[in-house]
Amino acid sequence: MNKPYVIGVAGGSGSGKTFFLKSFLEHFTADEVCLVSQDDYYFPVAHNMTKEENKEYNFDLPSTIDHEHFESDIFKLLNNQSFIKQEYTFNNSNAVPKMLEIKPAPIIIVEGLFIMHFGKIKDVLDMTIFIDADEHIALKRRLKRDLEERGYSNEDAYYKWVNHVVPAYKEYLLPYRDVCDRVVVNNTQEAADIIRITDEISAELRKKVLS
C-alpha cells in the first residue's frame, strides 16, 4: 500500500467543520477514506465534574487533548493498522458512547482545533483546509449546538465562548489560517455552497490519489 494521503481539516468552533466533513465524506466509500477526530481524544474529565466545574473547565486548550494517543493512532493508520477508539460524548449523560473501529484507507482525514498546533500531526499533513466563519455567525451556531446537544444553559455556553473559545481561537488556530492550502469561508446557510466546494476538492483528490 502506498503512503496514505493525509488531509487536515481545522477551524474554529461554529465554523461548520461538521457539515463540511459530512458533505466531503459523501464523495467517498469507507474503503477510500477514514476520519480521525480530535474530539475523541479529550482526557475524560467531564463526567467527574459538577455543573459549575464544567462551566469553568476550559476544553479549548491543547492540554485537554491526549495528543500522544491522537498522534499514535494516526501513525497506526499510516502503517496500515486499524484501531478501536471510544467516542467522546462531552458532558451529555444521555449519550451512549460508540466504539469506533478506524481502518486505514488511501485518504486519511484528521480534523480538530489543534491539528496544526501539534507538530507531529502537522508534519504528516499533505493538504490543509481551514474552515472559517465570521465571529457572530460562529457564535450563533455554537450556542445552538451547546444548548441542543450538550445540555448547557445559554449563560454557560456564552461564558465559554467569551472566556475560552475566542481566546483559544486567536492563540492556537488563527495563526495557521493563512498557511493552509485552502481556506473555506463558511458564512452561508446554503448547504449547496459547501457541497460545491467539497465537489471540487474531492474531484481533485480522485485524480491525485485514487486514479
Q: How far is CA 106 from CA 54, 82, 89, 164, 209, in A?
A: 39, 13, 28, 36, 7
Query: In which domain, by residue range, is 120 found?
Result: 5-210
* pLDDT, tens only, 163-206: 999 999 999 999 999 999 999 999 987 788 889 999 999 999 99
Stated pTM of the model: 0.89
Write the pLDDT tens digit of every residue in 98-127: 888 999 999 999 999 999 999 999 999 999
Domain of residue 177, CATH code: 3.40.50.300
Tally the domains of the chain: 1
The per-residue DSSP string of 3-50 comes to PPEEEEEEE-TTS-HHHHHHHHHTTS-TTTEEEEEGGGGB-S-GGG--
